[in-house]
A = this chain, B = another copy of it.
Amino acid sequence: MREVIVDLGPRSYPILIGAGILSAPDIVTRWLPGPQALVVTNSTVAPLYLARVRDALTGSEVRTLVLPDGEQHKTLAVMNQIITELLRHRYSRDACIFALGGGVIGDIAGFAAACYQRGIAFIQIPTTLLAQVDSSVGGKTAVNHELGKNMIGAFHQPRVVLSDTEVLATLPRRELRAGMAEMIKYGLIRDAGFFRWLEENIDRLLALNADALPHAIERCCRIKAQIVAGDETEVGARALLNFGHTFGHAMETALDYRGWLHGEAVAAGMMIAAELSVRLGRIDAGAVARIADVLRRCELPTRVAPGISALRLREFMGVDKKSRSGRLRLVLLDAIGSAALEDNASDEDVMAAISACLPETS
């Protein structure tokens, strides 16, 4: 079992990574603050892994709540359903929520935990690659608003993240590829060596190789843990983790959170950000070609979703949290492995970069 510590003083916690750890009851129950637990999951994950988690929790007062699957259900109304369930069964302040699922479940169950009685414990059990390398780590929780993704949320750290790599065996290929987008992101923003490793090992990762996969997950978690430990509430460097996300979130909002997976939108968003980095003279076209190549090998999109104009995408960027005082705050590349914040990109350059990434019309 691999362990990565997210070092946040009194809110520090471990990420435990390994094959089969969910089947070890002592690993799951060790973190419970009290006897009451609510496992929140979705209709896709429940038939696969809910029984395994329930079995591990024998002896506790366990209930489960199965939500519909999909980003479009990550709403305040669905979050309130979790609260209702907790209240109906009189869950107290030392109850614990388990988020068993991908990024959507982690975000909404984590936000419910942040708000219920002003904050109770929660435990992340990420079941997608994207959640294991990114969304389950760092304490960002949120639900979407029709005018913007993740606009209602909280920083609320889990007690522990339990990443069982075995569960990725049942992950749909498309979801696996979407998770690769975030892996590629870590290489791009912080670790050129890891990016090169990814270029060489993508096929092994997509084949769920038992050596390559845990290694890559651990490396991503270490990068994220290090950045989060230095800037828990994103007043500075944590924003680098949003590389590709400002464009990606705008795409997801424009699509009403349907059709594209988060990782897919991030892939296309990273291409726009790379294109803009070239325009501002930060990187050369060769770097962009490498990025496009690795995304294509993962069968990830490298262009904006069809039907969204550059102007419409730009509109939805305005409300994204990465803008401060009305100015767009973007994450650009200075090299593969090195990202920086940019507050002064002109609207013309932004529009040109988006336009360069629109789908080719036939």
Instruction: Please list the residues of chain A having a beta carbon within 8 angstroms of any beta carbon in chain B.
Output: 34-36, 76, 80, 83-84, 87-88, 90, 92-94, 114-119, 140, 142, 145, 147-148, 151-155, 233-234, 318-319, 321, 323-326
Select A147's contact among B36, B88, B92, beta carbons within 8 Å. B88
Provide 21 A-B residue pairs closer than 8 Å at the C-beta atoms, listed in order of the A residue. Answer: A35-B325, A80-B152, A83-B145, A87-B145, A87-B147, A87-B319, A88-B147, A90-B323, A90-B326, A92-B321, A92-B324, A94-B325, A115-B115, A115-B153, A116-B151, A116-B152, A118-B155, A118-B234, A118-B321, A119-B154, A119-B155
Given contacts A76-B80, A147-B84, A319-B87, contact A140 B152 (CB under 8 A): no
Q: Which of B34, B76, B80, B233 contacts A119 (CB 8 A)?
A: B233
Given known contacts A76-B80, A87-B145, A147-B87, A154 and B326 CB-to-CB distance under 8 angstroms: no
Q: How many chain copies does the complex carry?
A: 2
- Shortest Cβ gap from A79 to chain B (Å): 8
Contacts beyond the supplied A116-B152, A117-B153, A118-B234: 19 A-B pairs with Cβ under 8 Å: A34-B324, A34-B325, A80-B152, A83-B151, A83-B152, A84-B145, A87-B145, A87-B148, A87-B151, A88-B147, A90-B323, A92-B323, A92-B324, A92-B326, A93-B324, A94-B324, A117-B151, A119-B155, A154-B154
Which residues of chain B have C-beta atoms less than 8 A from A80's C-beta? 76, 145, 152
Q: By the criterion CB–CB under 8 Å, are A115 and B147 in contact?
A: no
A324 contacts which chain B residues (CB < 8 A)? 34, 92-94
Closest-CB distance, A303 to chain B (whole angstroms): 26
Q: How far is the CA of A318 from the CA of B91 in the complex (A)?
A: 9
Please determine whether A321 and B83 come into contact, CB atoms closer than 8 angstroms: no
Give the shortest distance, in Å, between A86 (CB) and chain B (any CB).
8
Chain B residues contacting A140 (CB-CB under 8 Å) are 118
A290 to chain B, nearest CB (A): 33
* Nearest-neighbor residue (CB-CB) of A117 within chain B: B321
Asked whether A321 lies within 8 Å of B93 as measured between CB atoms, the reply is yes
A325 touches B154 (CB 8 A): no
Contacts of A34 in B (CB 8 A): 324-325
Task: Decide: B90 and A318 in contact? CB cutoff 8 A.
Answer: yes
- Within 8 Å by CB of A154, from B90, B115, B151, B233, lies B115
Specify which chain B residues have a CB less than 8 angstroms from the CB of A318 in the assembled complex. Answer: 90
CB closest chain-B residue, reference A153: B118
A139 CB, min distance to chain B CBs, angstroms: 10
Cα-based distance from A94 to B325 in the complex (angstroms)? 6
The 3 A-B residue pairs whose C-beta atoms are closest, nearest first, are A87-B147, A117-B321, A118-B153
With both chains docked as a complex, state the minimum distance between the C-beta of A141 and any C-beta of chain B, in angstroms. Answer: 8
Interface centre among A35, A145, A324, A326 (most CB of B within 10 A): A326
Q: A142 vs B114: C-alpha distance in the bound complex, in angstroms?
A: 12
Residue of B nearest to A318 (CB): B90
- Nearest-CB residue, chain B, relative to A139: B118
Residues of B within 8 A of A117 (CB): 151, 153, 321
Report B-chain residues with C-beta under 8 Å of the C-beta of A36: 325
- Considering only CB atoms, which chain B residue lies closest to A112 in the complex? B152
